[in-house]
Amino acid sequence: MLSIQQLRYRNILNSVDFSAKSGEFIGIVGPNGSGKTTLLRLVAGILRDFSGKIGLDGQNLAELSSRQVARLVSYVPQIVETVIPFTVIELLRLSRFPYRGMAPKRGPVPDFEAILCQMGISHLKTRQVATLSGGELQRVLVAAALAQDTPIVLLDEPTSHLDPFRAEAFVATLASLKKEGRHLFLMVSHNTAEMARLCDRIVALKGGKKIGEFDPASLLEPEFRFLIYSNGDGDQP
Amino acid sequence: MKFRYFVGISVLTALTLLLPFFFPIPLIGHLSEAVNRHILWDIRLPVVLTALFAGGVLAGGGLSFQALFRNPLATPYTLGISSGAAFGAVVFIVFVHPGGSGAAVPVFAFAGALCSALLVMSFAFRRRMVQAETILLAGVAVNFLFASVIMFSQYVAAQYEVFQITRWLLGGIGNAGTLSVVLTGAAFAGLLAALLWLSPGLDLSILGDDMAASRGLDVRRFKLILITLVSAAVAATIAFTGPIGFVGIVVPHMVRLKLGTAVHRRLVPMTMAAGGLMLAVCDTIGRTVLFPVTIPTGVITALIGAPFFLWLLSRRSTLQR
């Protein structure tokens, strides 16, 4: 489903290789500045001047158009201070751009209601996105990614703005999505406990290089945490 | 609901087209019928039509630039197109045809406007990733560049030429004719069709480059296409009207506040219709309130529009992008 070979991007990523198949939940960990978000943006087709190869569903990303990539990969960005002046349902409709292009009514229409129900936000359907709380917004952004109907879903620190209670509920929702087995999830997070709970495998990056793949449970062990997060110049984890 | 707005806009447009039949004809009723007919069909009607089309283009340009640059202060002039046009006009008035008539000013203004747009784009689109801020700042720089050339020209120009330049910079629809109607009409129709077609891309642009790109929009190409289209339409318009301000920045906000949506397929037709109406009405007011003195349209748009917009703003707490 996803295969990454010899991936390099400017001086940020330097030789990253790994592959994953449908139904897997892959965690990407590493210290700040290790290239995690850049990796997601490359797989999402946002940054395109990379070297190496990103294979999506057997096709080479470099040879696909933006819309073709967007039919294979959806991306849930970190929550930023962007004001989104649309209602929830309007935002979900925008996720159909990969299929419709500039034509408003072309292509299949997914069951938006079912997606909202799955994310537990049916009641927010006609609300303005700008009026939502952080927890609601995060669920809406995931719903928008699901509306894009892609086999690969990328999540960038989805719980970092949530309080512990809402983060837990959100992780439970992700776990139920994982159980369906229809998507390959790639998630960047600094929360080792939720990574250990959700992920099948952990890919660790440091300084733009992949330093290894680990069992998620090892994230809870202090030696592994030091190995992953230290800069190697004597600093303390 | 959409239908109601459509009917309202149609009725208002029809009324605006009828304006020349009522104003200021009754004030000069002592003229012969032939002269009246000439004034009505050959002078008033082209002015009203040019105002309708020009206002629509300016409002449509402002709407799309505000979405593209994700900046509520963006206008069709943000990329320096108005100072480029002014530069062209000044070159003609001072250097090419000093002291003469201004018949060829639109040609030079159009050329100057295109120059400034090309200049901004050639700098901004050099790199693979084109950030909105880069384009905006390039526009600011080009604006200052042309403004300084204009100031220098005014410094060296004769008194009569300075007067001509000042009048042009005020903006107005005084010298409208068949040519201005045809060209601004073509710009209006072309921009309306293009913006309707590209409206999903405008919606995505508001989400920011990353979210737009991850939904399959080729952000760089979209920016290039949109800026080219808007610049061409605005250049064709500003060549005849001069840099009329306010319509381009405020009408889009008025329509957003009124319709309560940010979906561009709904905003585009209303904004362009409202922009046209506003300019046509302002122009008529400028020609009639102090008759026989004509107040330049550019003065009236802000004089009436600014208080009205402030009133609208005070009723809604947030300015939507």
pLDDT tens-digit profile of B230-287? 999 999 999 999 889 889 999 999 899 888 899 999 999 999 999 999 999 898 888 8
Amino acid making up residue A152: I
Chain A residues with beta carbon closer than 8 angstroms to that of B211: 75, 77, 82
**Residue burial B203-227, b: 16+ Cβ < 10 Å; e: rest:** bbbbbbbbbbbbbbbbbbebbeebb
In one-letter notation, the amino acid at residue B40 is L
User: Given a cut of 80, is residue B28 above it in pLDDT?
Assistant: no
* Of B199, B200, B214, Cβ closest to residue A44: B214
Q: Which candidate from A49, A71, A102 shows the least CB-CB separation from B197?
A: A102
Cα distances (angstroms) measured from residue B8 to each of A20, B13, B270, B301? 57, 9, 10, 21
pLDDT tens-digit profile of B171-226? 888 778 888 999 999 999 999 999 999 999 999 999 999 999 999 999 999 999 99
Do residues B234 and B68 touch, judged by C-beta distance below 8 A?
A: no
pLDDT band at B101 (very low <50, low <70, confident <90, very high): low
Spatial separation of the C-alpha atoms in residues B260 and A122, rounded to whole Å: 22
Angstrom distance (rounded) from CA B200 to CA B177: 36
Q: How far is B130 from chain A (nearest CA, A)?
A: 12
Strands A13-20 and A2-9: antiparallel
**pLDDT tens-digit map of A190-199:** 998 899 999 9
Q: Which of A71, A82, A90 sits opposite B208 (nearest CB)?
A: A82
What's the start-to-end Cα distance of chain B, in Å? 22
Nearest alpha-carbon partner for A3 in A184, A215, A195: A184
As a whole number, mean pLDDT of residues A73-81 equals 88
Query: What H or E segment, with its residue span, contains residue A109?
Result: none
Interchain proximity A45–B214, CB inside 8 Å? yes
Residue A235 has pLDDT above 60, yes or no: no
User: Of A175-179, A198-202, B102-106, B240-244, which range is least confident?
Assistant: B102-106
pLDDT of residue B20: 63
What is the secondary structure of B153-204 as a DSSP string? HHHHS-HHHHHHHHHHHH---TT--HHHHHHHHHHHHHHHHHHHHHHHHHHH
Please state which of the ranges A111-120, A218-227, B126-135 shows the lowest mean pLDDT. B126-135
Q: Is A66 in Cβ contact with B216 (below 8 Å)?
A: yes
Mean pLDDT of A129-148: 94
Entry pTM: 0.90
- At A213 the three-state DSSP class reads strand
Going from the C-alpha of A170 to that of each of A27, A79, A137, A160, the distances in angstroms are 16, 15, 11, 11
The helix/strand count (H/E) of chain A reads as: 9, 10
CB of B239 closer than 8 Å to CB of B107: yes
Q: How many CB atoms are located within 10 Å of the residue B40 CB?
A: 13
Residues A75-85 have a mean pLDDT of 85
Non-local (6+) Cβ contacts of B249 within 8 A are: B62, B73, B74, B75
Q: How many CB pairs under 8 A join A and B?
A: 73
Q: Which of A35-44, A73-82, A156-165, B22-31 has the lowest mean pLDDT?
A: B22-31
Q: What is the DSSP string of B47-60?
A: HHHHHHHHHHHHHH
Query: Is A46 in contact with B210 (Cβ distance < 8 A)?
Result: yes
What was the ipTM of the complex prediction?
A: 0.92
pLDDT given for residue B319 in this prediction? 44
Closest-CA residue to A97 (of B214, B15, B309):
B214
For chain B, count helices (H), then strands (E): 13, 0
The residue of chain A with its CA nearest to that of B204 is A94
Least confident of A131-135, B22-26, B50-54: B22-26
Question: DSSP character for B95?
Answer: I
Q: Could you tell me the CATH superfamily of domain B2-319?
A: ABC transporter involved in vitamin B12 uptake, BtuC (1.10.3470.10)
**Cross-chain residue pair B218–A66, CB shorter than 8 Å:** yes
Measured CA to CA, the distance from residue A162 to residue B98 in angstroms comes to 68
